[in-house]
Structure 1
Amino acid sequence: MSDARELLAVREIAHAFLLAEHPDDVQQFALDRVTPLIGASFSLVMQLGPDGGLLRPVAQHEWPAPHRQWIGALRVRVGDGPSGLAVAERRTVEIEDLFADPSLEAWYEVATELGFRSIIAVPLETAEGPIGAVAFYFADATCVSDEQRALVRLVADQLAAATDKSRRTDALRRANAALAEANAELELQAASWSAAARARTASEGVVVEAMLSLTRQDDPRDRTDRLAAVQWLAQHAREYREVTAPTFVLSPDDVDPREPLREAVARWRARAPMIPVQIDEPTVLLPTMRADVAQLT
């Protein structure tokens, strides 16, 4: 009979794992199927939080209805109470009659409200250490039999293994999703670089075409004007190649917004001295701007 119940428990937990989509679902499905096999009134699976010091509920079976709405706020410190002690000492904790143990007086009121008298709590352990505990609560004082004890231990081991595997699967799923997102971003970046390369090629083609057109001009004045235009195109093509190159890096600094304006005007005056340019600027100190002054000019 014992072997049959153990096989049934293993089958139910495996079934729960196959149906579950998230780690907590494994706990819930398995608890719903296994608790009746143990003969407990209700049960609870608690999981260690990120700090490793507090246990929080992740699954329950037939928790007393009047208190079910508060179960989410329940926290048990590691080392405190049957479940906390099971995790802290990494052993099975059995309490045949809670009200007969003066050291557990702090739990009398809770036990009375929830309606339990006997508990068996077992840590859920993986190769990395305990991850939580499963506790089965009995309405009456219960001396756990060897058969029940073996079944509870088996359930705890299976729950821990199923939860650990489910967590790893979930982590792998998230990693694959992150990888797919990164690949999509790389593809977009590659497409952007490709478009920039095509644009550079097109701009270079314009310069070459302009250079060739110089050889087809007979009027020296036209040739001079076109040469100036080609030089302007070539300069801007070089600047475009620089700023669109994958290795291009901006060098931002705090810049007085008047400085690049002054430099631009100075360049204009050198190129077209016949056209007067005047700058009217405030005498007060202006706030600086964050920019690469070379690119801004």
Structure 2
Amino acid sequence: MTQTAIAVDDVRKSYGDLKAVDGVSFTVAEGEFFGILGPNGAGKTTTLEIIEGLREPDAGTVHLLGTSPWPRDTALLPRIGVQLQATAFFDKLTAREQLHTFAALYGVGAGRVDEMLELVGLADKANTREDRLSGGQRQRLSIACALVHDPDIVFLDEPTAALDPQARRNLWDVLRAIQERGKTILYTTHYLDEAEILCDRVAIMDNGRILALDAPARLVRGLDAPTRVILERGSLTAADAKALPGADDVSEDEVSLTISTREAADLLSALADRRALAGLQVRTATLEDVFLDLTGREYRA
């Protein structure tokens, strides 16, 4: 039977008139990759810091592995690993020396250090000073520091923020490898596409509240949004597109013609009959569409 690793019940935190966290509740199962999504200012980081025991909630309860993280419980600390938005490393130490230092704080043997460097893809940078690593490499080192004591729960606060697309994807491999080791991951991000790929379940937050919570695919399916078929402009006239079976709406700009449909198979078959498939793109709904439907506004990171 799957056990609950994290239980959050009606947590609230205000700063003056600002309700940073406004009645948040959810549970995370052991071994689950759980994402908290939302734009900047949604309350993600404050929620995470309360769960980690870094902030005291105004109301509500949190339990990690059956224990309250506030007040600070020193017996709980070795069982959690925390990677913050900004990590302060020790000056002038190499990647290996950084990890040795963090490992020593937990009484972890030196053999674990090389294992972590291998896991996060930094074995070849072990003797490179931290300040000479790239942004993506520093993020991976930060995650290795959070994992060096082999915690049961790993907290990652926007680990791919400010990384270039290639560095983000390299870090995705690291995050998948962490989950494959059976770790529970609680992760915040404002990249909806990333969460759609990585997370078992997601909670979409805005203005301190959870607007929706489920597996990404179920959230998207529940939206019942149309499929968009995008053609190169000139491959079909707007009038001809509107006459196609399954075409619900047609729009056109300077470079493309877009057909919205809820009968994609019929529409694509008709386009194939007309040899109008060159350059065709098919786009289904995404978590960004779910956010738009929930809030009535476009998502902005």
TM norm structure 2: 0.21
User: TM-score when scaled to structure 1?
Assistant: 0.21
Structure with the larger RCO, 1 or 2 (CA within 8 Å, 6+ apart): 2
Structure number with the higher strand fraction is 2
